[in-house]
Structure 1
Amino acid sequence: MDATDQPTPGGWRSFWALVAMQIAQAFNVNAVKIILMVLGAWLIERKMAPEGVEHLVTVMLVLPYIIFAPTCGWASDRFAKSSVIQWTSWLQIVAVALTIWALHARHLGLAIGGFFLISTQAAFLSPSKVGVVKELVGSKRLGFASGVLEGTVILAILAGQIIGGNWFDAQLKILGDGYSASFVPFYWVLVIAGVSVGLAYLVRPTAMHPGVPWTFKLATSHVRDLKELFTSQQLKLCGLGVAFFWGFGGFIALIVLQIAESLNHGDEGTATAFAKLWTRAVVGIAIGSVGAGLISRKKIEMGLAPLGAIVMTLGTFALALCPLSSVLQMIMLVIAGAGGAVFLVPLQAILQDAPEADRRGTVISASGLLNNLSGIAFTVLQFGLKYGKVPIGFQFAVVGLLTLAVTWICFKHLAVDFIRLIGLAVIRTIYRIDVSGAPNIPEKGGVLLLPNHVTFADAFYLTAACPRRIRFVMDETFIANFWVRRFTEIFHTVNIARDNPREAIRITIEALKEGHVVCLFPEGQITRTGTLITLERGFELIAKRANCPLVPVWVDGSWESIFSYERGPGFCKKPYRLPPPRSVA
């Protein structure tokens, strides 16, 4: 077992310090970004800068993540992640100070160069910041911690853009000069950078992972790092999904800025209009992050990814039809933002949980490389659409089609998780299920569950009660029915032929050796009397040959169900009580 499967002493205190530190750092990076973007728009309007400055600033944000990706991952794996967090916090102070000097010199190019240094600092921070979470809180609550980390960083990104833009507009209104309007916001950014240094030193020291020395070959090993990410189908799909989310978010942000510029002609009020629209996305992301974090508080819930993708798709297509700056458009920004956050949380949690500790930094850095390649691709796409005079509504439709494709991929790979998520929500709403003894089911490895069989709905009660996904043993004669066959395909049931017991035992043993939780009803049929009937033989041999634990299960309170034989066959019965109580032990 990975030593980081369990939380470390003081790990949660360190985690909350890490959250506060990353909020400060992400706020600063994005406040600087939006100030430089609206300053560029102000200069373009006066013919003092070339068109496309806002896209150049966006590229400068993501370029260090691409150039230095292998080195960032190496530093996170080679040194203690807590030390890297501290070093990079100091670097942000230096980079912000250099950018302030460039603005005083009234040199936009040098200021953008300073922003490149700020982004470089963020690129080196990212793998250590994300990779240290499992070392602090362990695996069990990683889904919740990931929801908090991703939700707060996204909120900090958006807050930095909104507050930074409002700061600039307020100063521009007073001073009437773009460069001068940037000074006060930047000095506050410098103060916040100082606070983040103090927070970085509250993160508990973590272990070093001695590895290979840095070489130029390592620094240019982008393809190798991507191969590390792509060695696992699960990591590859999660990495691509996270990359799509960040590209999608950047694209939407650039469209929102274009809307703000069109409403104010790039002059005073542009940043405020941007903030007004972007605040709605903040609200949506807050709702989505909190909701996903709460649902994932006990384990990583992959069914959230297709759910979030559906919401993103619907919200984006609706944005294509909304009038600019209308109430409906603001509502759809909330919906699209919420969907994006729900989509992101489980994918990012897998990237933190699945790799081994000494490779986690490399995997996360490779994911960051993908994120920023996606960011550049979406930036180039929006640049082409904007300066190709493509209407804003059509731009939303383009990204909506891309989101629809991602939704299809999610359902191709995560249909079971999605149906399980929705189905269990329905079951838990209808039934009051009291669960006891759940810790008796090991977190990993094959387990054979042996429950009593009282109703046709027992599989749903057990699925709602079990902390792990269950594969049910089913007689293959039932799969002649089309709908039952589709059910078995989606939920990967263990289909056996009762007239060939040796083969049935072999198939069940294989599923257990693969590490699945397998449920076998040892009675072989539903009771007609409400009492336990004679158990069929074979499950002892299965458990012995599979070398896995047996867990007896008792489902109580279901004899009075409309799905039992208590009042004869058929489901056209009136429930005795609502909500019907069930007990699973």
Structure 2
Amino acid sequence: MASNQDPSNQAPSKPLAPKEVCQFKLLAQKRFAPFFWTQFAGAANDNLFKFAFTVLVTYQLTISWLPAHMAGLVIGAVFILPYLLFSATAGQLADKYPHQLIIRRLKLLEVAIMVLAAVAFFFNWIAVLLLCIFLMGLQSTLFGPVKYAYLPLQLRPAELTGGNGMIEMGTFVAIVLGSLVGGVLIDAGSAGRIYVATGCMVLAMVGYWSSTRIPTMAATDPGLRINLNPFSETWKNLSIARQNVVVFRSVLGISWMWFVGSVLMSQFPVIAKEVLYGNTQVASLLLAVFAIGIGIGSLLCEVLSHKQVEIGLVPVGALGMSVFLVDLYFATRHLPDPGHLLSVAEFASSLANWRVMVDLLLLCLFTGLYSVPMYALVQMRSQPSHRARIIGANNILNAVFMIASAILTGLLLQWGLSIPQIFLVLALANAVVGAYVFLLVPEYLLRFVAWILTHLVYRFSIRGRENIPAAGPAILACNHVSFVDAVLLMAASPRPIYFIMDYRIFRNPVLGIIFRMAKAIPIAPQREDPAAFEAAFAKAAEALRNGDLVGIFPEGAITRDGQLQRFRRGLQKIVTDVQAEGINPPIVPMALSNLWGSFFSRIEVRDGQNVAMVKPFRRGMFSPVGLDIGPAMPSHTSPEELQKQVQALLEQAGQAQPSASA
């Protein structure tokens, strides 16, 4: 059948305008804005209080039982301890009760804690201030599962990465502002403590006011019986999280990010004073750079992922974290002692200090690229009725990692390691942990390969992404143009796809590794290997029974002339195998366009031969490639009807105007 599948002078079609809004426009919507500002005020208050208290103990007071060099670690550990003790209970509460009700009551609790802290600041009661740190940690513990369970209920799947990016950006901007204000207020002479107490109470009341604007919603599991035993419930939550391997490994990856981040955040006053020889304003400047980097990285996630949960960014983030931790070690290990504490102006006058700030900024930018997709993945793939408890399990592990971070950092300092040497240890450990997680969950590396292919090799445009089912079994049927068609479809889908692919492609030393990692299903012609033929269809049927996506190329082989070939009847066999069990998976037609003649497709050479993967730059870099996804068709659709629909998508792509990259 003739096809204008790949007109050389046409670019892929422009995506339909989605119903979802961009991440910044969420701030104008009631479903998101009040929650954002409630979270923002809470994060600012936490850090105003913690940072002011840390500076007070580090710079202004001499306390025998709380040495200055250990103050940040101790305060951080006390704040995190409730996460370890009460996260399991917090997850249950967030599943059982309406989210807006929990948030409002927690903001009232925050007001009460700040009143107690104000009294403690006035009378200089350090032990009571530590108690308030613990209580603020408890309030944050109870808020955590609500925070991350709320977003998937209010945002569409394509908005989830952007929404998480906004929350992460807002959180770290709040850290900046809270820490800066805390440092300035506590440094304002004898009245500094009163200023800090007043600022904390004002932020608590602003947070409560904003929480009253959060829309009402139903509880996700109102019949849940609360188990008050934190130990048994913690084990139960961890068991729930472990049921989904990808989710649980992602939770571990998030916890590792907090391990690394807590070392930096708890040590900023000490880093500023003992490594960079700066005053309290320099410590605040470092926090500002830290938060700005996280914010930029978090916002970049939506830009780089094009409105889907793109975990291919996670390896990019992990690599960047290690690179800039190493350079931070080299940048700080031999800084000269000026003999006095530097002001911000004096600090900024040194080129060496600018290198430190750039390293810190880029380290945090890559941390944002690392963390936001992981959070979005956990939210998207967790069962809604158990989502808050899984997030509770995440918070438990975060707490364990952060407390372990504080303990190990303290031990390393006691054993004589310098802070720059700790940066180097973190860099090496991050590389090892990253490699371990990505080998355990190959999906991260696969999505990384897909991201590279669709951003650096091709300029990939997608139309109709919303036609891929967000849940449940489905068959994705696409024309077959190149050896990387499966990788391109992988990049377009927020869910994993189990591909049925010609067994010969697995012989390629590079692509074979990729497709084995993707758990692709090799298929051989029935006349050549009947057992392998039947095994392939059995595995495809099993994937559909499990509610997964199955990808198939009905032509049976890569096109040799750039035209659409006759669709074979293997797809009908897959459908027939599961229909007997009452499963009727929809068939989603897909059409790759403008791919013929690229490096990974075949191309006609002399003597009528067709070869692939020769002359890598024969179409240049960033060659435009398109994917059009049509509405789902019923499972009884014949191969001829499906072929007509794919043909129509190809013709539509050929007539479209050039589109923006997706």
**TM-score (norm: length of structure 2):** 0.78
CA change 1:137–1:538 in 2 (3 A) is closer
CA change 1:457–1:249 in 2 (3 A) is closer
Any residues of structure 2 matched to 1:84-99 within 5 Å, and which? 84-99=102-117
Partner of residue 3, structure 1: none
Does the alignment pair 1:77 with 2:95? yes
Q: Relative to structure 2, which stretch is displaced further, 453-462 or 537-546?
A: 453-462
CA change 1:453–1:37 in 2 (3 A) is closer
Residue 550 of structure 1 is aligned with which of 578, 587, 599? 587
Deviation for aligned residue 1:89: 0.6
Give the Cα separation in 2 of the matches to 1:273 and 1:10.
32
Asked if the contact 1:454–1:558 (Cα under 8 Å) also holds between the matched residues in 2, the reply is yes
Asked if the contact 1:168–1:271 (Cα under 8 Å) also holds between the matched residues in 2, the reply is no
Asked if the contact 2:499–2:552 (Cα under 8 Å) also holds between the matched residues in 1, the reply is yes
CA deviations on 1:199-222 (whole Å, 9 max, x unpaired) are 101111121333355564358633
Partner of residue 391, structure 1: 418
Deviation for aligned residue 1:567: 4.5
Residue 539 of structure 2 is aligned with which of 492, 510, 525? 510
Asked if the contact 1:446–1:513 (Cα under 8 Å) also holds between the matched residues in 2, the reply is no
Deviation for aligned residue 1:362: 2.1
Partner of residue 77, structure 2: 59
CA change 1:387–1:150 in 2 (3 A) is same
Does the alignment pair 1:258 with 2:270? yes
Partner of residue 301, structure 1: 310
CA change 1:491–1:264 in 2 (3 A) is closer
Asked if the contact 1:528–1:565 (Cα under 8 Å) also holds between the matched residues in 2, the reply is yes
Deviation for aligned residue 1:465: 5.2
Partner of residue 405, structure 2: 378
Partner of residue 190, structure 1: 201
Give the Cα separation in 2 of the matches to 1:370 and 1:327.
35
Aligned residues: 569
Any residues of structure 2 matched to 1:334-353 within 5 Å, and which? 334-353=361-380
**TM-score (norm: length of structure 1):** 0.87
Q: Relative to structure 2, which stretch is displaced further, 143-152 or 374-383?
A: 143-152
Give the Cα separation in 1 of the matches to 2:289 and 2:98.
38
Asked if the contact 1:82–1:132 (Cα under 8 Å) also holds between the matched residues in 2, the reply is no
Give the Cα separation in 2 of the matches to 1:222 and 1:31.
30
Any residues of structure 2 matched to 1:174-189 within 5 Å, and which? 175=189, 177=190, 180-189=191-200
Deviation for aligned residue 1:81: 1.3
- Where relative contact order (Cα < 8 A, 6+ residues apart) is larger, the structure is 2
Give the Cα separation in 1 of the matches to 2:124 and 2:423.
36
CA change 1:435–1:485 in 2 (3 A) is closer
Deviation for aligned residue 1:469: 4.5
Asked if the contact 2:540–2:574 (Cα under 8 Å) also holds between the matched residues in 1, the reply is no
Deviation for aligned residue 1:525: 3.5
Any residues of structure 2 matched to 1:421-570 within 5 Å, and which? 421-433=448-460, 435-456=462-483, 458-459=485-486, 462-463=489-490, 468-498=495-525, 499-501=528-530, 503-515=532-544, 516-546=548-578, 547-559=584-596, 561=598, 563-568=601-606, 569-570=610-611
| Secondary structure of the structure 2 residue equivalent to 1:482 | coil
Give the Cα separation in 1 of the matches to 2:552 and 2:225.
52
Q: State the AA in 2 paired with 1:507.
A: A
| Secondary structure of the structure 2 residue equivalent to 1:206 | coil
Q: State the AA in 1 paired with 2:168.
A: E
Q: Please, which runs of 5 or more residues in structure 1 have no aligned partner?
A: 1-5
Asked if the contact 2:521–2:539 (Cα under 8 Å) also holds between the matched residues in 1, the reply is no
Asked if the contact 2:575–2:585 (Cα under 8 Å) also holds between the matched residues in 1, the reply is yes
Partner of residue 286, structure 1: 295
Does the alignment pair 1:227 with 2:239? yes
Give the Cα separation in 2 of the matches to 1:240 and 1:467.
21
Give the Cα separation in 2 of the matches to 1:456 and 1:235.
30
Deviation for aligned residue 1:231: 3.4
Asked if the contact 1:144–1:297 (Cα under 8 Å) also holds between the matched residues in 2, the reply is no
Any residues of structure 2 matched to 1:185-224 within 5 Å, and which? 185-208=196-219, 209-214=221-226, 216-217=228-229, 221-224=233-236
Q: Please, which runs of 5 or more residues in structure 2 have no aligned partner?
A: 1-19, 336-351, 579-583, 628-648, 650-662
Deviation for aligned residue 1:297: 5.4
Give the Cα separation in 2 of the matches to 1:105 and 1:68.
30
CA change 1:493–1:277 in 2 (3 A) is same
Does the alignment pair 1:42 with 2:46? no
| Secondary structure of the structure 2 residue equivalent to 1:473 | strand
CA deviations on 1:318-375 (whole Å, 9 max, x unpaired) are 2121135722221111121112221111222233233333322222222212211211
Partner of residue 20, structure 1: 37
Give the Cα separation in 2 of the matches to 1:459 and 1:355.
25
Asked if the contact 1:254–1:382 (Cα under 8 Å) also holds between the matched residues in 2, the reply is no
Q: State the AA in 2 paired with 1:204.
A: P
Q: State the AA in 1 paired with 2:552.
A: L
Give the Cα separation in 1 of the matches to 2:301 and 2:616.
37
Asked if the contact 2:502–2:556 (Cα under 8 Å) also holds between the matched residues in 1, the reply is no
| Secondary structure of the structure 2 residue equivalent to 1:565 | strand
CA deviations on 1:35-94 (whole Å, 9 max, x unpaired) are 111111134558696453332211221122222223322322222111010001111111
Q: Relative to structure 2, which stretch is displaced further, 497-506 or 306-315?
A: 497-506
Give the Cα separation in 1 of the matches to 2:575 and 2:200.
62
| Secondary structure of the structure 2 residue equivalent to 1:13 | coil
